[in-house]
Structure 1
Amino acid sequence: MHSLTELIILSLIQGITEWLPISSEGVSVFVLVKFFNSSPAEAVSYAIYLHFGTMLAVLLKFRSEFYRILSFSDRHLIKIIVVSAAFTAVTGIPMLQFLKGFQSGFEVTLFIGVMLVITGIILGLPKTGFRKLSEVNLFDMILVGFFQGFAILPGISRSGTTISVLLLRKIDKEDALKISFLISVPAVLGAVFLELLSGNVELSAVGGVTIPLTLLTGYITMDVLLRIAKNLNFSIFCIGLGLLTILVTFLTSL
């Protein structure tokens, strides 16, 4: 069980980094392993659970879209979320089991560094979009869901990956951003549910601090950080951060 101070720090990290294409999970796992003495499995569980608060921030931000979904007034949007969620599970569940196989902090932090470099390469791919949300087809839904599942791996940015996939499929940038955040909700709910079933994170012990704090921080910072994410080159940043993570991992293991 982590201290109140540690939970506050982790919540602030999640609330801020969730909106940047740098893998909030990767940052949280690195901090948990390197500074808070967590095992790799525990760190992954906490990092996943921290997403619950920022997921609520997404629900609040896109409440009109989710109202349309719940009222069944936008069947196409419902189809996008359902199909992508199904294919996220296809890749996400095996990747989660793979993650739990890490035995040492060295392994998991080295892995994070490599995945950050891969994220940087993905973000650097040339892409433009013009197709609207109404033009998203079944193949688009399957593809974005399939790749979203890999974002359970710390160091792979979920938003960066899904938005890049949609832009490569020529989806308009604003619609790609909206789709990316809408499909994150069932993905986060599914991952948190699996972690709660495993008993790795105690809801009563952690949720009282992390949920309201990540929700508040995430909602307040969302618009500003999304604007920053649009205007800065995070490809180079992620590659540099990944290489730095790899270097720190080796230096601290000596």
Structure 2
Amino acid sequence: MTVDVIQSLILGIVQGITEWLPISSSGHLALTQLLFNIKVPVFFDLILHIGTLAGVIGFYRTDILKILKSVVYPRSLNAEEAKYYRNLLMLIIIGTIPTAIVAFSLRSLFEFSFYDFFLLSVGFLISGVFIFITKFFKKGSKSIGKFDAFLIGIAQGFSVFSSISRSGITISLGMMRQIDHYQLVKFSFLLSIPSIIGGSVFDFVLMDDAQLSTINDIHISSYIVGFLSAAIVGYITIKLLIDIINRGKLYYFAYYCLALGAILLIYSML
């Protein structure tokens, strides 16, 4: 189905807001499409995700550059910085491996969760419970260890289920592990980069002829508007979420996820 500029703007804004806030971007995109009775091509979905990827890369561009320098040209950094960023890269790799295993193993099982109100409700309720639990944990001060990175990577893999929030489940688990909030948020967002890139490449490679033929059904202007709105709104949303976490208010999002999950559950039973 053709997606016009207004629809692409709305979908881009929804993607930008919900990709980083702990309320599930995939779940909200699926819900938006169900409510407006549209089904966007896989390629358009990829463009939206690449938009939010651009936003997080832009936000953490300094850290990403230093990670690259720590490997390619470590002498450009002081010894302490080089060691920190090499360790951060190692933790990202450790977290990415279980993410890939879990996501690819469960992808076909969870694929149908995008098109069913009952299954959407289940994911939102799971996200809400995880986020709500963080209310009972004091602010941590622990550095991220290898085991923490592994556990967070597993959690991120389960966000392949449409309405389980990637940021919600990874940050919540990290808070339960008493990890310092500053380190945790940065790690969660940086960990999303290989996940989004890998998932996007995987989706594109697996597109069949029918899906490839729909690429030209959408005008280039709609792709551009969707990409830019997702990138800009996503960048702003990252700043917002960091401020919310610093104020210890992440659990507020649990009420939204639980309420939305309950509404969808009731609706699916009518």
Whether the 8 Å CA contact 2:95–2:153 is kept in 1: the answer is: yes
Assess, with a 3 A threshold, how the Cα gap between structure 1 residues 228 and 169 changes in structure 2: closer, same or farther: closer
Superposed counterparts of 1:59-74, under 5 Å = 59-72=57-70, 73=82, 74=85
Q: Work out the CA distance in 1 between the residues paired with 2:121 and 2:13.
A: 22
Q: Secondary structure at 1:22's aligned position in 2?
A: coil
Q: Secondary structure at 2:183's aligned position in 1?
A: helix
The number of residues matched between the two structures is 243
Cα offset, 1:93, TM superposition? 1.0
Q: Work out the CA distance in 2 between the residues paired with 1:45 and 1:140.
A: 34
RMSD: 2.4
Report the counterpart of residue 55 of structure 2 in structure 1. 57
Percent identity at matched positions? 30
Report the counterpart of residue 231 of structure 1 in structure 2. 249
Per-residue CA deviation, residues 168-202 of structure 1 (Å, 9 max, x unaligned), is 22201221111111101111111111111122476
Is 1:247 the counterpart of 2:251 in the alignment? no
Q: Work out the CA distance in 1 between the residues paired with 2:226 and 2:257.
A: 26
Whether the 8 Å CA contact 1:109–1:245 is kept in 2: the answer is: yes
Q: Secondary structure at 1:165's aligned position in 2?
A: helix
Question: Gaps (5+ residues) in structure 1?
Answer: none
Per-residue CA deviation, residues 33-90 of structure 1 (Å, 9 max, x unaligned), is 332332xxx6777556522111111111111110111112321011011111111001
Assess, with a 3 A threshold, how the Cα gap between structure 1 residues 131 and 228 changes in structure 2: closer, same or farther: closer
**AA matched with 2:249:** N
Question: Gaps (5+ residues) in structure 2?
Answer: 71-81
Per-residue CA deviation, residues 125-175 of structure 1 (Å, 9 max, x unaligned), is 23334344xx32221111110110001111111111101111122201221
When normalised by structure 2's length, the TM-score is: 0.81
Report the counterpart of residue 79 of structure 1 in structure 2. 90
Report the counterpart of residue 96 of structure 1 in structure 2. 107
Correspondent of 1:157 among 161, 165, 168: 165
Correspondent of 1:143 among 135, 141, 151: 151
**Stretch deviating more after TM superposition (225-234 or 123-132):** 225-234
When normalised by structure 1's length, the TM-score is: 0.85
Report the counterpart of residue 218 of structure 1 in structure 2. 234
Assess, with a 3 A threshold, how the Cα gap between structure 1 residues 140 and 27 changes in structure 2: closer, same or farther: same
Q: Secondary structure at 2:164's aligned position in 1?
A: coil
Whether the 8 Å CA contact 1:117–1:239 is kept in 2: the answer is: yes
Whether the 8 Å CA contact 2:8–2:223 is kept in 1: the answer is: no
Which entry has the higher C-alpha Rg, 1 or 2? Answer: 2
Whether the 8 Å CA contact 1:112–1:154 is kept in 2: the answer is: yes
